Amino acid sequence: MSLDALPAPAPDAQLGAHTDDRGTAFSLWAPRATRVELALVAPDRSQHNVDLDPNPDGVWSTWVEGVGDGALYGYRVHGPWDPKSGQRFNPAKLLMDPYARAYTGGVDYAGPILDHTAESHYKPDPTDSFLAVPLSVVVASTPPPAPVTRRPMAESVIYELHVKGYTRQHPLVPEHLRGTYAGLAHPAVVEHLVATGVTAVELLPVHHFVSEPFVIGSGLSNFWGYNTMGFFAPHEAYGSVRAPGAQVADFKEMVTTLHEAGIEVILDVVYNHTGEGGHEGPTLSFRGIDHGGYYRLTPDNRNDYDVTGTGNSVDTSELGVQRMVLDSLRYWVTEMGVDGFRFDLATTLIRDANHHVAQDHPLKLALQADPVLEGVKLIAEPWDVGPYGYQVGAWGPAWSEWNDRFRGYVRDYWRGTPNGVQELATRLSGSPDLYDHAGRTPEASVNFVTAHDGFTVRDLVSYDRKHNDANKEHNRDGTDDNRSWNCGVEGDTDDQGIVALRHRQVKNLLATMFLAFGTPMITAGDEFGRTQQGNNNAYCQDGPISWVDWGQLDAWGDVHAFTSTLLALRAEHPILRAATYRHHGDVLDARGLTLGRPDLAWLNGYSGEMTTDDWHDTGRQTIGMYVSDAQEAFVSWLHAGAYPLEITLPELPWGTAYRILLHSGNDDELPGPDDVLNAGTVMTIPPRTVVVMGVDVPTRRPRQPRRRTS
């Protein structure tokens, strides 16, 4: 049986809790409820219940005098208990307000929250959950953070970090601020970001989240935060002040500090599922407000239709759910100062009422057209685990996408298992096979070699296999498709030859990402050798495995210096971060005359451009990426071979002289930056090395001599 369509909240309906000079207005969208009670919670934990009034659009509302900033509350929603029709109303459960601006903490699964056995047999659990669930907090409006001039994606360098893990062990951050929003705003932290060349931080989920019962039962916690319970509230545990709602001010101050340093703030947002888990999970909010309205259900309505792998997927075909997502995005932009969003498992958000993927989904169209979101960065993780969920390249001009094709091939290339260099050239040129259509540009491709999910870049060159025993799942969790190479020894070693090779390989991987057209994304700490000891699924590790060890900065300082130098070069020369696709077009001088060289070409190292035979040589492990405009040119040599390689620097039209700007090898292996290498010079590239060279090129077409006339 199918559920009836739900009414949508009126366009002017203001949901959540909103204060005025005399009290607070409360509104909740609960379209199938028969009664809604507001439970006001006093400091002594006593409750005062107030009935809300229904409206035809499914919104229940009331105004309470004398209630203001910092007040605690929840809802009790009445209605039928009929799981076979998708309805699980139970007023014994104190529910979190989906629109609350703050909450008080996590869930006490050992407390009186839920009788799972009773739920699974479709009987409402009469136990009051009041003492076990987070309380919603009334938060008065305050001015938004200071704005920042937003960069186009083509100029952006994204840095994915975890708010707590990034500063939990930072030696210069005061102990009481480590692991908080205020800790991330500490001058020493911001200085490192700026010095590295970061233009935007992408925060792992900071929407208020909870841990799952099975994780808590294992003595662990949901560290990453992909278990959202509040789409308008900054996570309470990251606040530096223990007072109801204080985390909101903390977050705003963090954003202001980052903006003043020229760093944008992007949120990793999880609208595809919630922290309530599958249909046998706890009733914390959405399930008790309208289970069949918020969640996708199987045809018999008894179970959640799962396309996320988490047991529950949010039903964005419902207008009220679409409204909630849009309201949340607008709030984080207008009130919290956020500059962009990375949408976790974004394909789930564009599935229709029949669970089919629809790139013209109303939510996607509304999001793209919303004036509040104009200029805000929209990044899709373009897949989920359902049918046809892999949507890489399909999101359209308003979007950038995580490019897992880039990640996979670049890893293969540097571990020595490529099939020639054709795909490497495609990935370096901005993955035009995926994105060069419908008016899209290279910035659509978010290029990365690591992310929070998987090995760090140091572990990528230190482990051939995952080591996830600390997760207490018998090493069964996490992917086995790591495409890594341990350089000869599994894990840490004192062999200095292997250590040096690992440093070089990390530089190679990072350099490939920074030199490719598109938007690079670094995982926090990769620029100075962060390790998770081979754990490639540290979602539950709130400890040293996940925390950034700033002590590694000394031992891996060469990698950080390499990173910051290359990013500075990229920032200084727009030609290295092309905003449009290049197709071997002629470079023209100021008079519109061709200079005889292309804007993008691929060099073989012996005769100039790659030949047909070169492209079809599956054993080839070297390529030169040549980029040029009317003023300057660069060539980057990527050599993944295990032996040195002699190349000949090509003559005109490519260039007259060359100078090495940086490389991933040892200083004594290549000429220095002051050495001018004339065209025709034979140069030896060391094994497994990237070399970036500036090229001297003519900036004007030589004048042709006039013919004498008699």
Phi, psi values for residue 469, rounded to 5°: -60, -30
Catalytic residue check, 381:
yes
Choosing from 344, 436, 459, 614, the catalytic residue is 344
Name the strand (E) or helix (H) holding 409: helix 404-415
Q: β-pairing, 158-161 with 519-523?
A: parallel
Residue with tokens 């929209």: 378
DSSP-derived 3-state class of residue 192 = helix
Residue 552, amino acid: Q
Distance CA 504, CA 500 (A): 6
Query: How does DSSP assign 196-265, residue by residue?
Result: HT--EEEES--EEE---HHHHHTT----S---EEEEEEE-GGG-SS-STTHHHHHHHHHHHHHHHTT-EE
Tokens of 301: 């309505």
Query: How does DSSP assign 496-532, residue by residue?
Result: HHHHHHHHHHHHHHHHHHHHSSSEEEEETTGGGT---
Distance CA 445, CA 197 (A): 19
- Give the burial class of 154: count Cβ atoms within 10 A of its Cβ; 0-12 exposed, 13-18 middle, 19 or more buried: middle
Distance CA 100, CA 234 (A): 10
Angle (CA) 556 561 562, round 5°: 100
Angle (CA) 111 115 120, round 5°: 150
Contact yes or no for 338/267 (Cβ under 8 A): yes
Phi, psi values for residue 190, rounded to 5°: -65, -40
Name the strand (E) or helix (H) holding 286: helix 286-294
Choosing from 381, 443, 542, 614, the catalytic residue is 381
3-state SS, 198-216, equals: CCEEEECCCEEECCCHHHH
Cα first-last separation, the chain: 97
Q: In what order do the strands lie in the sheet with 622-628?
A: 600-603, 622-628, 633-639, 689-696, 657-663, 677-678
Closest by CA position to 607, among listed 648, 640, 578: 648
DSSP-derived 3-state class of residue 635 = strand
All residues at 6 or more sequence positions from 359 whose CB lies less than 8 Å from its CB, including other chains: 350, 391, 394, 395, 396
Contact yes or no for 68/23 (Cβ under 8 A): yes
In which region does residue 68 sit, left (phi positive, over 0), alpha (psi from -120 to 50) or beta (all else)? beta
Distance CA 40, CA 64 (A): 10
Catalytic residue check, 155:
no
Distance CA 401, CA 381 (A): 6
Phi, psi values for residue 513, rounded to 5°: -65, -40
All residues at 6 or more sequence positions from 114 whose CB lies less than 8 Å from its CB, including other chains: 93, 125, 127, 129, 282, 283
Contact yes or no for 223/540 (Cβ under 8 A): yes
Taking each helix axis as running N to C, give the angle between helix 362-369 and helix 319-334, from 0 to 180 degrees, rounded to the nearest 10.
30
Answer whether the bond into residue 653 is a cis peptide, omega within 30°.
yes
Residue with tokens 């899709």: 380
Contact yes or no for 198/262 (Cβ under 8 A): no
Residues involved in catalysis:
344, 381
